[in-house]
Amino acid sequence: MATDPLRRKSEPRDKPRPNIWAEGEQRPSFNLRAFGRAGLHLSREGVAPLHAWAARTTRRVAVNVKNGAGRIPEEKLGRAARFVPSHLRVAAWIKNGAAILSHASATADPDVKRGNALVMEIEPHLWPVDEVAPIPASPQPTAPDAPPVKPDPIEAPPVVLAEPMPEEDPLAAIRDELAEDLAPGAAGNRRPKKAKRPAYVPPSGPAIPPSPPGEVATGAIQVFGFMLGWLSSFAALPYGLAKAGWLHIKGVDLRLIGTDD
């Protein structure tokens, strides 16, 4: 029997139907847990670049301050110069702030390698090790069995004091000056002016770069960076949730976002 080519062929019933027929729509089902995880992931992705930009900018500012940008001359500070920190120490403080921002970016960044690379970029000290002020070495104790060497006593000659001459009057010079001051029309009647105090000259010396932060300071920088990274991530959570909701409307499966964290 010949088949009609214009007749529609019937498909077998065991063939699976597309999702658009089976579920009625292409958008995946809403999952509250996946929505929250995707929102936190997107907020971390939005915050981490901001912290990285701030860390690099802060380190550049520290380098400029180290080179003398914004430095106030000691002559203008006067007596307050001893209370104002040097520009080298201020540059070190600014660099420590950049290190905190780098750890915050590494904490918020889902990409661990990218965060660690940023920390290694910001972490180095502003000055080489040979330029940093050396730590004074403690005196070496002497051996207990070696008795201290005592110097030989030197006999000092007796000191002979000169006796005052009986004809000399120690107050004669003072009496002469008083007589000249009390004489009529003498210029000594005027009260002598007090000598002006010399202007304060701040002590000048070579500016020594501060030493790099120790173990305690490094640990504090890491802790502050960790706290700042997570606080900023939770503060930007509304942005992440809004973006996750927009992606769900567009048909993106939120269960695939943030699974690597």
Please tell me the predicted confidence (pLDDT) of residue 21. Answer: 47
Q: What is the CA radius of gyration of the chain?
A: 41
For the chain, where are the alpha helices, taking DSSP H only? 19-22, 32-66, 74-77, 87-108, 112-122, 172-182, 215-235, 237-250
As a whole number, the mean pLDDT across the chain is: 76
pLDDT band (50, 70, 90) for residue 25: low
**How many CB atoms neighbour CB 74 within 10 A?**
16
CA angle 192, 198, 200 (to 5 degrees): 150
Answer whether 51's CB lies under 8 Å from 103's CB.
Answer: no
| Position 5 pLDDT exceeds 60 | no
Answering whether pTM is above 0.75, one says: no
Please tell me the predicted confidence (pLDDT) of residue 202. Answer: 46
Please tell me the predicted confidence (pLDDT) of residue 161. Answer: 62
Tell me the CA end-to-end span of the chain in Å, nearest whole number: 64
Of 90 and 68, more confident: 90
Q: What's phi and psi for 122, nearest 5 deg?
A: -90, -25
Answer whether 220's CB lies under 8 Å from 30's CB.
Answer: no
């769900």: which residue's tokens?
Answer: 248
Answer whether 257's CB lies under 8 Å from 44's CB.
Answer: no
Q: How many residues does the chain have?
A: 261
Please tell me the predicted confidence (pLDDT) of residue 24. Answer: 47
